Each structure stands twice: as structure tokens, then as C-alpha cells.
Amino acid sequence: MDNKTADELKRRIESSVSPFHTVLYVMKELDEAGFERLFLDRKWKLKKGGKYYVNVYDSTIAAFCVGENWQGENFRFAAAHSDFPCLKVKPDCQMESNGYIKMNVEVYGGAILNTWLDRPLSAAGRVIIKTDDIMKPEVRFVDFKQSLFIIPNLAIHMNREINKGVELNRQKDMIPIMALSETTDIKDKKNIWETYLADNTGVGAENILDYDMFLYPVETPCVLGLNGELFSAGRLDNMTSVQACVKGIKSNVPDDGFNMAVIYDSEEVGSGTKQGAGSVIIRNIIDRIFRKFGYDEETAECALADAVGLSVDVAHGIHPNIPEKNDPTNKLLLNHGFGIKTSAGERYASDPVVIGIVKGLCDRYDIKCQRFVNRSDIPGGSTLGTITVANIPMRMLDVGVPVLAMHSSRETMGIHDQVYLEKILERFFSYA
């Protein structure tokens, strides 16, 4: 078992408890690696040989490296996503009945709902705080890091059919308890969440204008299996890919090359936001970079036409008890390599030229990979790859580690597959 890789992934997952915290953790890594921060609303000064990153609205981040002799060609790109299926706190969220004070939440993304029951939950996100300048409120990031909420199951004695399967109502059954009415010691019992949030943010409740807060399970990641070859955690989708992209962009850029890695928000809800893969924001950043180096629009278009990209997201490992859900011949075994994903319906970004490049790198550097295709009668989920190339036209391929229980509050993978994924991203970006 690769202890170093597991420890790195554990630290990332424990820190990346919201899309905002995912970006904060990546920013810290890039700062330590000597990248210079740029701002969307300020002018840029770029130089060849430079390493840069841009925080895009707090939950997306784009990093890029410029070769010493870059001539507007040899463009390589990789993308992952910062968000994950979870529960998001609604405004005016307090609900009270039968002695319970509950929190009104909505489901974010395609979560497996029953995996959120009976798990201690915490909250993290960002809080918008009033300042003297109305047009510039303060943004403060918060992670409570402790067990605060729980969504209890119904006892089997009250539903004898529960083991035959229960459909959970998102508005009725997914509401967590946050306190008991009679025993809470928070003074403002009509607004206990806002008061708690204010107390732990260090401002008065009257100064909180809004918030983006998400619930997450507090259970820690762990290595498991008799040989320690498995890894269990929440948010493997898509922190595994974030880690690989960061490792890749920190590797050496070819002398005549240009490398870019983007961690997008909003993938789990369709990517149609200002910071999602469906936005033009990254294409705008690319065009801005080319202009700063004195290259015209046609040079940028030529570079993208010749560019190669990887969309990095998890894939479905073959289930130990229900293997028939996988394709008969293109199935992913844990610890046998990262997956190369293709789909006739273009639900995954795929291109045979990029497949050839990736397989060539795997052969040269002894990196294991596997092929994945969904069963023909079971359409899989889509990724940000196909959405990205609609705005940034380039050859792109979907790759990722195999996991079990994708979109559960806790997923399982083979830790060696993470090693293979990180290696292919490092070789993809550094090969000259």
C-alpha cells in the first residue's frame, strides 16, 4: 500500500469540505510551489517561464505554466471538479416540531440519499458579511469541523418493509436535527442557526447578509482491507482527480509548451454557472493569456485545434456483489489502473488520438490503465469533459480512478489506482 499517496489524499479530503475549501487547499499548494496569483479584475503581467493561478469566484481555480520558449503552440489541458453531492442549507432554514429544532436543506447533485442517514454531519462554506462599503461585502470561509447534525432513520418496528427499499422524500425525510427546543442554550431560539453561525464567524448576526453552507459527514477517511490496499472516504468524487491535476500542473512544463489545469465548480449540477465548465470564463482566460504574450486570435485558435486535454473524474469500478451492472468486456478492476472512459453517446469526452497518446505514455512509463464503457442498456452519468470542449474546442479524453458506490456519502477505491492516475497526469504535462 502506498502510504504517502493515501496520507496526501486523506489530508485533501479532510480539508476540502466545500468547493470553496477545495480551492483554498489548492491555492495553498500552488503558493508553496511558487505559483503567482492573478486576479480576474486586475491587469496581468506575464512572462515566459512563469507559473500562475487564478481564483474564479472562490470555487473554481485555473493554474497554468508557460515554457521558457513557448511560441503559442503545444497546449495541454486537464480539468477536474471541486464540488460533490451533498446537502445545502436553505435561507431561513429553521424548522421546529415535537421538541426538535431542524434545519431545512436541499439536495445538491445526485446524492445517494440513504447514505446520509444516521451519520454525524458538520457544515462548511462561505458567509457574506456586511461592511461599510455596500458594494464590497466581506467573504469569510467557515468550517465547523465538528458533529452538529444528524438525519435519523425510522426504526424497523415502525416500517417492517424498510429492507425491501424505501423511497426518501427530499423535503420530508432529509431534514437534519440541529437541536432540541427545551434544552438549547442559544439565546435567540427563533434563529439558532443564524446565531450559531454568527458566534462562530466572529460577527453579529445582524451583519450576516447571506451564506453558501453545505453539510458534510465528519467521519475520517481510512485505509482498509486485509492488505491495506483499499481506501474509503467521502468526496473521492472528485478529490482523487483534483489531487492528480495539481500533481500534474506542478510537474515540469516542456520548454516550448503551455500547461493548464482547471478545477471547476458546479459539475454535479450541470456546470451551467459563471464558474462552471459550461461558462466561457476559462476560454476568456486563455484568450487573455495569448493576448498578453502578443499572440493574435488566430494563433490561439490554431493552438486549441492542436491541443490535447484530459477530463479527470472517477469511474465505476466493478461491484463485488452485482457485477452484471457492468459491461461484459470493458470493466474496471480496483488497483488495476486508472480508467479510460468512452461512450458512443458522447457522455464522456473521448478521442482516439488522445487515447493513443495516453496509452503510449502508459507503455513508456509502466503506468497501468484500463478501458471502461457502460453497459449498452445502462447509460452512465456525464462529465465536464464534453461540456468543456463545447467552449474550448480541443481533443479531450475522460480518465479517472475506479470507485465503488459513486455519489454515496462514502466511496471506496483502490489506492494504487490513485498512484497510476497521478503518474499519468505528471507524464502528460511534462513529456517533451
Per-residue confidence (pLDDT) for residue 379, from 0 to 100: 84
Looking up cell 429544532, which residue turns up?
101
pLDDT at 196: 92
What is the sign, positive or negative, of the torsion defined by CA atoms of 114, 115, 119, 122? Answer: negative
Quote the pLDDT of residue 186.
66
Listed as ranges, residues in the chain with pLDDT below 70 are 1-2, 185-188
SS (H, E, C) 272-321: CCCCCCCCCHHHHHHHHHHHHCCCCHHHHHHHHHCCEEEEECCEEECCCC
Q: Give the strands of the sheet with 315-316, arranged side by side.
A: 222-224, 230-233, 411-414, 402-404, 315-316
pLDDT, one tens digit per residue, over 49-70 is: 999 999 999 999 999 999 999 9
Alpha-carbon span 379 to 203, nearest angstrom:
48
Q: Which cell numbers hold the place of 85?
A: 453531492
CA distances in angstroms from 376 to 144, 258, 325, 343, 345, listed in the order given: 44, 38, 10, 9, 10
Q: Report the pLDDT value the prediction gives residue 188, as an integer from 0 to 100.
A: 67
Distances from the Cα of 30 to the Cα of 4, 39, 60, 423, angstroms: 19, 15, 14, 18
H or E segment to which residue 230 belongs: strand 230-233
User: What pLDDT is stored for residue 308 in this prediction?
Assistant: 97
The three cell numbers of residue 118 are 444516521
Output the pLDDT for position 2. 67
User: Which candidate, 124, 93, 95, 121, places its Cα nearest to that of 23?
Assistant: 124
DSSP per-residue letters across 360-395:
HHHHHHT--EEEE-B-TTS-----HHHHHHHHS--E
- Measuring CA to CA, which residue among 28, 390, 85, 34 is closest to residue 215? 85
Residues in the chain: 432
Do 331 and 318 meet the contact criterion of CB atoms below 8 Å apart? yes
